[in-house]
Amino acid sequence: MRRIVAVLAVVGALLLSLPASAGNWQLDGGEPWAQRVGPGLYAGLGGVGCGDDHFCHDHDAWHSSLIGSLDGTIGIFWRIIPNLVVFIDASTALLPASARGMADDHGFLFRTVGGAEFHVPIMGWIEAYGGFGIGFAFLRFRGELGQLDQTVRDTLLGVDFELRTGVTIYPFSRAPGLGFGPYYRAGLVYWPTVCHDVDGDEHCSDPDDQDHLPFIHHVGLELRLNF
């Protein structure tokens, strides 16, 4: 997790340094950025995975990776000024899993987050941004113990503190509010409730060691439309 936070801090510094290195620039972007102030929608498609922790990678838990997952996000935003965007979004994801002794094992993630982003126009057609959000996360892994004919479920409910960064390109002069680009989001989740269920016999607890529980990272491409 420390590596993720460090990377995002470096990206945040670049948000301010890159436009300045380009020579003549305006923090508010000038025109056509004034046309992009107001409400909008965005949708993202990519992958999601667990962080490097015991829950997702140890031999005695679920193993999940970014490769093979599918994550979709939809959200609304309001660009208050060219640099400041507030947002709320929701995403669902299917995660591949490979736990020892399990068959038909997979994961499901739902999370919804609201927050704010700081955007830096680099040119008239490209911007970089970094942001922070807080919301709710639900993560469940499920598998079948074939030899024992049992269904096992691990369910986690938590508070998602999300860091995000990305780049948006606006290539269409006739549609200045339409853009697309890559994004990365790190969900630094606090999980107050973890439940273990075997054939309906469910036991929930408040884990003492959050280091053994997953944080979530999302990578993908998104489409943004300013009205």
CA–CA distance, 62 with 100 (Å, rounded to integer) = 8
- Return the pLDDT at 85: 96
Backbone angles phi, psi at 147, to 5 degrees: -65, -30
CA–CA distance, 86 with 131 (Å, rounded to integer) = 9
Confidence of residue 28 (pLDDT cuts 50, 70, 90): low
**Residue 208 CB burial class (10 angstroms; 0-12, 13-18, ≥19):** exposed
pLDDT tens sequence across 69-109: 899 999 999 999 988 999 999 999 998 877 766 777 888 99
Query: Which residues does residue 76 pair with via DSSP β-bridges, in sequence order?
Result: 41, 88
Ranked by mean pLDDT, the top range of 15-19, 26-30, 73-77, 137-141 is 73-77
**Given the DSSP bridges, would you call strands 103-121 and 201-205 parallel, antiparallel or unpaired?**
unpaired
- Return the pLDDT at 50: 79
pLDDT tens sequence across 201-221: 778 877 766 667 788 889 999
- Return the pLDDT at 163: 94
CB 217 within 8 A of CB 48: yes
Query: How would CATH label the architecture of 2-25+38-226?
Result: Beta Barrel (2.40)
Residue type at 67 in one-letter notation: I
- Return the pLDDT at 6: 52
- In this structure, what is the dihedral angle of CA atoms 162, 166, 169, 174, given to the nearest 10 degrees? 10
- Return the pLDDT at 4: 52
Confidence of residue 154 (pLDDT cuts 50, 70, 90): confident
Query: Is 0.85 surpassed by the pTM of this model?
Result: no
pLDDT tens sequence across 172-197: 878 888 999 999 999 999 988 888 88
Kindly give the residue spans of alpha helices, DSSP state H, lying in the chain: 2-21, 54-57
Asked if the model's pLDDT at residue 24 lies above 50, the reply is no
- List, in order, residues 6 or more apart from 192 with CB less than 8 Å away: 157, 158, 159, 206
Q: When comparing pLDDT for 169 and 13, which is higher?
A: 169
For the chain, the structural domain boundaries read: 2-25+38-226
Q: Quick one: what percent of the chain has pLDDT higher than 90?
A: 39
